Each structure stands twice: as C-alpha cells, then as structure tokens.
Structure 1
Amino acid sequence: MQLITIQRILGLLLMVFSTTLLPPVGVALIYRDGAIAPFLEAFGLVLLAGLLIWWPARRNKRELRLRDGFLIVVLFWVVLGLVGALPLYLSPQPAIGLTDSVFESMSGLTTTGATVLTGIDYLPHSILFYRQQLQWMGGMGIIVLAVAVLPMLGIGGMQLYRAETPGPMKDNKLTPRIAETAKALWYIYLSLTIACALAYWLAGMSGFDAIAHSFSTVAIGGFSTHDLSMGYFQSELIEMIAVVFMLLSGVNFALHFTVWRSLSPMPYVRDSEVRTYLTILLITALITITYLYVTKTFGSWSEVLHHGLFQVVSIGTTTGFTTAEYYNWPGFLPVLLLFVSFIGACAGSTGGGMKVIRFLLLLKQGVREITKLVHPNAQVPVKINGKPLPDAVINSVWGFFATYVGVFAVMMLILMATGMDQVTAFSAVAACINNLGPGLGDVGYHYGDISDTAKWVLCAAMLLGRLEIFSLLVLFSPVFWRR
C-alpha cells in the first residue's frame, strides 16, 4: 500500500473540491440571500486541509496500484461527504446539526436524494443551488474529472476508474487512454445537462429552477428546490421532459458514446441491457396505470397516465422525483415501485440499484439452471448481446447479490433495533442503498424525524450503494491489507 501516494492524491482532490464551493457564492451575490459567509469559510477550511495533506507528499510520483485505487475512492467519498456538509452546518438557514448536515451532504453526493429538510422553498438560493450541485458532481463529475486530470499530474487513472465505475463489465474502455475515456463521459454528461436545462426553461421553469433540476435529473439524484418536488410546477410538459432525460440518464454512458461516435441509434436497439431496462419500466408502468385507473385514485385518465408514468420512471431509474404522494397509493403499488428500484438503471449510468445487467444475468442464470435440471449434460451458455459470458462474471454477480441481501438484512435489523417499524426500516434501507431517496412509512416525505443513529446507518447504506458494496467492503477484508 503506497500511503504517501494516496495522501498526495487525497490532498489534490480536496483542493479541487474546494473550488466547487465558489459557484454558490456567485449565486448568493446574484440573489443577495446573505449566505456568502458559510461557503467562503468552508472553501478556506477545505482548501487548507487539502494543502496540509498534499504538501508533505507533493514530491511522490509513484504509479497507483489497484488496491490503492479502492482505498482512495472510499476515502474520497467519505471525506467528501464530511467536508461537503460544512456549508450546511455553518449556515444559519437551514439550522441543522452535524448529523443532519452530513446526511444531506452524503445524500447529495451519492445521488440518493433523501432529505432531512422541510421548508425547502424558503431556503437561500445559494443553499438550494449547492444541494443540486452536490448531486451533479456526485453523478459523474468529480471522479471523471479527477481521472482525466490525474494522468496529467503523472498519476495513472485506470485504477481509480476501475474501482469507482459501477457494473460487472466495467473493464471495457471506450478509448485507448483513460483520460480520453473520462473526457468522453464528461462531455456526454455535460451535454445532457445543458439540453435538459434548456428544455425545462422552454417548458416554463425559471432559469434557476431549470439549471437546478437539470443537475438532479441527469445525475438521477432527485433533490428539488421545492418541497413538492416536480409536483410544484403542475406541468405535464415538464414532467414528460423529466421522463425523457431520466430514461436517457439511466442508460450506460458508454452506449451513448458509441451512438454518438457511430451517428446511429442501432447500438441502443441491439443492447440487451437497454431492451431489458425499457421492458421492465414499460411493464411496471402498464400495471401502475391500470391499477390507478381501476381504483379511481385520480379524477381523470390524463392524471392517471402522467402521474403513473412519471412515478414509475422516477422510482425505477432511482431518481426519486415525485409529483404525487406515491407512498399513499392504494394496494401493492408503493411496494411494487420500491421493488423496481432494486433493479435500478443500467450499469455505467448515474443510476442506483443493483443494475439491470445484473438482474438480467441472474434471470438468465436461473433459466440455465432450470434447463440443466431437464438436460444435465447440456452446455448452456449465458449470453449478453449474443456473446457468451465467462462463468467468473456470473459467479461475481451471484456473489454481489448474496452480499447485497446480507448487508440489507443487517442494516434493516439495526434500524428496527432503534425503534423503527418494519415498513419504515425496510423502505429506508431500500431507498438509501438503491440511491433512490423517498421511502415508505415515516420516511415517505422526509428523513428528519428518525433518530441520529438511524441516519448514520443510512449514510453508510448510501455509500455502499454508490460504491456498489464490494468497493467498500473489500477494505474490511484481511487479504486486502496483506502484502
């Protein structure tokens, strides 16, 4: 383990992150909301901390190893979640303590969208912008930017890319050089954000709301500048724009790059994961809309259609925007939507959940096992996009699934031990480990009323979900620390 190299990189990344505390200062000046001081104080503290960490190790230029990459990624997300809480903690509005500040910061950076805040409409514009910016950076900005910059500093970035990028097939690079890969992903991410902001603005949002909501839409985050989330705007057009960009952001960004490079939509059509992703959402939407119509939950067919479609895409992609109190919908619908979030979006997207590719592989493996019961000697390969996958990939997916279930159960039991009821505990862990946000029961509207212990447990769940469990749990394995 090259601790000096890790120290140098962590210091550099903290100094880079400190600059992201300056845009909210500009917003505070524009809107004269009086919230400049918390951001300037936080900027100074984070910059100084980064400088103090970097300076003693500044001359170390060794290449990173894979294990170093895992440790840096975990350290960076933990430290970022803590220092990202500084402006929220230092600001007199919202007046929240350390635990709530860290929870809100971690929720933003992991693109979970769970919030402890109420009265969001009355917060300073700079605080609102900062929350949205946290999600946008967490979606892809920070790591991709760091991976693009690190090679120029004489530090290889592939180890960071492999350690942070989600999905079981993440070793496939888009371009020969990791810096070019990072830049390609960054340009796609930025282009989608700009297009989304323009679409929102043309549909009637204010410029501030359009930019803010484009950040959380493309990041699949779910934070809003209003308590009523997307329901505040009461616009079917805005909701349908959100549906389009949530769907796009839930697709593998490598696939977006391939489509852009080939100038053909056929890669979408041929991709097994995308077809499964859209099929799951379509079937869930049909069930939801039909049940809402039969139970007369809304007054008109138009309301049933747009609320049903919006909530299915929002929950299914793990964005977490709301236009209605879906957690109060009749029958099995709230649980159905929560279950769909377990599948989540595609690998290589900004979405959460276990990822569609893993669900597809588990399904295909299940079918293979049934086939082998009938034909024990048959060789039945598991194929994705027409290509057979090695058993090592399938075994890793089963390992991930087993670990996911185990971690989920432990966290749910801990929450119940704090006095939380079963529905709230189950949905809170599901919403946080899937990076979804809104849950059921007492956490349907916000997380402000649960205990501090529960909030710290859920912060860990968010981090596990963002780093896809193994990237974090590997640090607790004795073999990781052996030479």
Structure 2
Amino acid sequence: MQFKNIIRILGLLVALLSVTMLPPAFISLLYRDGGGVSFLMSFIFCLVAGLLFWYPYRAEKSDLRAREGFLIVVLFWAVLASFSAVPFLLLDQPNLSVADAFFEAFSGLTTTGATILTKIDGLPHAVLWYRQQLQWLGGMGIIVLAVAILPMLGIGGMQLYRAETPGPVKDSKMTPRIADTAKHLWLIYVTLTIACAMSYWAAGMNLFDAICHSFSTIAIGGFSTHDLSMGYFDSPLINFICVFFLLVAGVNFALHFAVVNSRSLRSYFYDSEFKAFLSIQLVLILVCFIVLTSFNVYQSGFDNFEQALFHAVSISTTAGFAATSSGEVTFSNWPTLLPILLIFSSFIGGCAGSTGGGMKVIRVLLLYLQGVRELNKLVHPKAVFTIKLGKKALPNRVVEAIWGFFSAYAAVFVICMLLLLAAGMDESSAFTAVAACLNNLGPGLGQVAANFADINDFSKWVLIVAMLFGRLEIFTLLVLFTPAFWKT
C-alpha cells in the first residue's frame, strides 16, 4: 500500500478544499452579518494542514492501483468532510458542538441534506452560502474535479474514477481520457447550475437565494436558506422549476453528454434506465395526487397536484426539499400511506451516474428483471433466459454483483437502525432516520421530521457513518473491512 503517496494526495486535496472557505468569507464582507473571521481562520488552518501533509512526501509520485484508489476515495470523503466541519466549530452563530458540526458538514458534502440547525433564516449569509456550497461540491464529487486537474501532479485518475463513480458498471468512459471525462462532467454540471440559478432568479427569488438553491437542486442535496425550504417562496412557478431541474439532475450525466454530443434527444428514449426513472416518477405523482384529492388535504385540485408533483419528485430523487407554506399541511402529516411510500421510493433514488442517492434505478430495474427471469425458469426449467438492457445482454456477473450490493445495503441499514433503537430512538424515527441518511435523502418522520437537532450524539455519529455508506455506495467503504484488502 502506497501510504506516503496517499498522504501526499490527501494533503493536496485538503489544500484544494481550503480555497472553498474564501467565497463565504467574501459573502460575509458583502452582507456584513458575521462569520468572515471564522472562514478566514478555517482557510488558513486547512491550507497549512494540507501543506504539512503534502510537503514531506511531495516527491512520492507513482501510479495508483485499484486498492489505493478505493482507500483514497474513502479517506477523501471522511477527511475532507471532517475539515469542512472546522468553520462550524469556529463560528459563534450557530454555536455547534463537535457532533453537530461534523453532522452538518458530512450531511452537506454527502448531499444528504439532514440538518441539526433551527432558525436558519436568522443565520449569517456566509453560513447559508457555505452549507449550499458544500452540497454543490459534493454533488458531482470533488474527486472528479481533482481527477480533471491533478493528473499533472502524478495522481492516477482512472483508479479514483472507478472507485467514486456510482452505478453497477464503472469501467465505461465518455471520452478516451479520464481527465477529459471529468471535465465534460463538470462542464455539464456547471451549465445546469447556471441555468437553474437564472431560472430561479427570473421566477422571483433574489440572486443570493437563486444561486444557493441552484447549488442544492443540481446536487440533489436539499439544504435551503430558509426554515420552510421552498415553501418560503410560496410560488408554484418556483416549485415547477425545482421539479424540472431535480428530474434533470436525477438522470445519468453520461446520458446528458451523449445527448449533447449527438445533438439529438433520441438517446434519452433509447435508455432503459431513463424510461424506468420517468415511469417511477409518473406513478408516484399519480398515487400522491389521487390520495391527496381523496382526502381533500388541500383546498383546490391544483394545490393537490402541485404538492403531489413536488414532494413525489423531491423525495424520490432524494433531494428532500419541502414546499409547504406556513399554516399548510406538511408532508409528514399527509395520510400515512404517502410519507411511507415516498420514503421507500428514496431507496430507489436517481439514475446511476446522477447526483441522486439511493440504490439507483438501474440496480432496481435489474433486480426486477432477475425476478422475472426466475419466474420464467419455474415455468420453463430447461429454457435459457438472458437479462437484457435495451438490446444488450448482460453477463451473470453483473446481476450477481447487484444482488451482493442489495444484500450489503440491507445489512448496513438493519445494523444502523438497531444501533439507533439501542440509543433510545422510537421505531418510526429510527427507520426513517437511517433511510434518510443511507439514501442521502435528508428529512425523515417522527422525531426527525423537521431536523435532527434533538437526537443524541451517539445517534448522530451512527447516521454520519450511514451517510458515508450511502454516498460511497456501500462496497467502496465495505471493502476496507475485508482482510484481503490489506494483504500485500
């Protein structure tokens, strides 16, 4: 294991992270409502720490193997999220404990969107910006940006890309060179963010809110600059814009690149995962609308449709935004079927290669196709059935990997939930808290419906681990616990 090279790379990444402390410092100067000194101190601390990691091993440059790639990715999220907590520890407002600071930082960078903060509207603009910025950076993964700009420093890109990129098939590249792949991903990501921000601004948000919410929308994160989330703006147009960009961000970014490259929308409709993703969204919206209308939850049919559309897409794509204005019925108080249904839908999440969380649509689709194949085998025991995506038959190895992933996902979920129950949390809160963090969703039900401020510190640390498992899609982190990984 190339530990010296790994420490050198982590030092570079921490130094790179330090630069992200400067925009909030500038925002504090612009709005003059506090926080600037804390972010400047955090910048200096992270920069110095990064250089101290890097300098002793600056000459250690060699190609990374797959094992080093997995370890760097795990350390990347753990170390950088930990350093991202530094401003929260130094700030006077909000005044957070160590557990709270780490929870907020990990939730931001992993795009989970679960928060321990209350009275968000009264926080300094620098803090609001920083939270949204964390989600934006974590949405695509700073590791992809690092792959794009750091090959010149001797960091092997493909090993990091394979370890970081979500989805069952990790060896496909959009372009021949991995650095070009990362650059194209980020170009699409930035373009969508700008388009989202401009749309929010044109719909009535002020420029600050528009930029901040574009960060968390394209990242499918769910953080907001207001306690009421999107409900603060009380605007159907803003809600529809949010839904559109959540759907766009929930699609495989490689598919977006294929559409842009071919200058044709046909690539979308030839993609099995995309069609399954849209079908799931349509079914959820329809079920929510029918139930809300049947129970007369809101005053008009349009209100029922708007709330059904927004929350179905927001929860199922794992964004976790809320669109309920003050005085209206909140999502957690809907007829019991709907909150539970949408929490379960977050286990599916977005498409592979998107910024969404969950197990990903492609995996669930393959599990379904495998179930159909087994039923067909019962009817025709001697027949040979293959699983196809489009016209391409998939090898059994891929299906076996999907089942392994599903088993590991379920095991991690059960263990985390049992730990929360042991810590004194009630069943509903424990179940939805783990679902919210493992699926990188954000809001839960019961004790964690509004925020996670009232749970104990032990539960927060358990959920931080769940966030990491969810963001790294289980295996990337779980492989570190196997003895074979550490054998030379």
- TM-score range normalised by the length of the shorter chain: over 0.9
Partners of 2:331 and 2:82 in 1: CA distance: 31
User: Which amino acid in the other structure matches residue 385 of structure 1?
Assistant: G
Q: Which residue of 2 aligns with 1:423?
A: 428
User: Which amino acid in the other structure matches residue 96 of structure 2?
Assistant: I
Partners of 1:141 and 1:8 in 2: CA distance: 19
Q: Which residue of 1 aligns with 2:409?
A: 404
Q: Deviations over 1:442-481 (max 9, x none)?
A: 1000000000000000000000000001000100100000
**Aligned-residue identity in percent:** 60
Q: Which residue of 2 aligns with 1:138?
A: 138
Residues 250-269 of structure 1 aligned to structure 2 (within 5 Å): 250-269=250-269
Q: Which residue of 1 aligns with 2:370?
A: 365
Q: Deviations over 1:259-306 (max 9, x none)?
A: 000000001001000000000110011001000000011111111010
User: Which amino acid in the other structure matches residue 435 of structure 1?
Assistant: N
Give 1:155 shift. 2.1
Q: Which residue of 2 aligns with 1:455?
A: 460
Q: Which residue of 1 aligns with 2:188?
A: 188
Partners of 1:388 and 1:84 in 2: CA distance: 44
- Cα pair 1:424 1:443 within 8 Å, conserved: yes
Residues 64-463 of structure 1 aligned to structure 2 (within 5 Å): 64-324=64-324, 325-463=330-468
User: Which amino acid in the other structure matches residue 113 of structure 1?
Assistant: G
Give 1:81 shift. 1.4
User: Which amino acid in the other structure matches residue 368 of structure 2?
Assistant: L
Partners of 1:352 and 1:405 in 2: CA distance: 15
Say yes or no: does 1:479 pair with 2:481: no
User: Which amino acid in the other structure matches residue 336 of structure 1?
Assistant: L
Partners of 2:88 and 2:397 in 1: CA distance: 44
- Cα pair 1:104 1:115 within 8 Å, conserved: yes
Give 1:34 shift. 2.1
Partners of 1:123 and 1:169 in 2: CA distance: 42
TM-score when scaled to structure 2? Answer: 0.98
RMSD of Structure 2 on Structure 1 (CA): 0.6
User: Which amino acid in the other structure matches residue 314 of structure 2?
Assistant: S
Gaps of 5+ in 2: 325-329
Give 1:141 shift. 4.8
Give 1:331 shift. 2.8
Give 1:348 shift. 0.2
- Cα pair 1:8 1:54 within 8 Å, conserved: yes
Give 1:327 shift. 1.2
Partners of 1:117 and 1:53 in 2: CA distance: 32
- Cα pair 1:118 1:446 within 8 Å, conserved: yes
Q: Which residue of 1 aligns with 2:34?
A: 34
Give 1:219 shift. 0.2
Deviates more, 1:139-148 or 1:280-289: 139-148
Q: Which residue of 2 aligns with 1:470?
A: 475
Partners of 2:50 and 2:397 in 1: CA distance: 40
Partners of 1:12 and 1:80 in 2: CA distance: 11
Partners of 1:183 and 1:355 in 2: CA distance: 23
Partners of 2:318 and 2:336 in 1: CA distance: 21
- Cα pair 1:136 1:215 within 8 Å, conserved: yes
- Cα pair 1:38 1:90 within 8 Å, conserved: yes
- 1:379 aligned counterpart, secondary structure: coil
Number of equivalent positions: 483
- Cα pair 1:141 1:186 within 8 Å, conserved: no
Q: Deviations over 1:49-82 (max 9, x none)?
A: 1011101110011011110010001111101111
Partners of 1:109 and 1:250 in 2: CA distance: 17
User: Which amino acid in the other structure matches residue 115 of structure 1?
Assistant: T
Q: Which residue of 1 aligns with 2:6?
A: 6
Partners of 1:154 and 1:424 in 2: CA distance: 46
User: Which amino acid in the other structure matches residue 322 of structure 2?
Assistant: T
TM-score when scaled to structure 1? Answer: 0.99
Partners of 1:72 and 1:246 in 2: CA distance: 29
Partners of 2:356 and 2:166 in 1: CA distance: 10
Q: Deviations over 1:63-121 (max 9, x none)?
A: 11110010001111101111101111110000111100100000000000000000000
Gaps of 5+ in 1: none
Partners of 2:149 and 2:201 in 1: CA distance: 32
- 2:308 aligned counterpart, secondary structure: helix
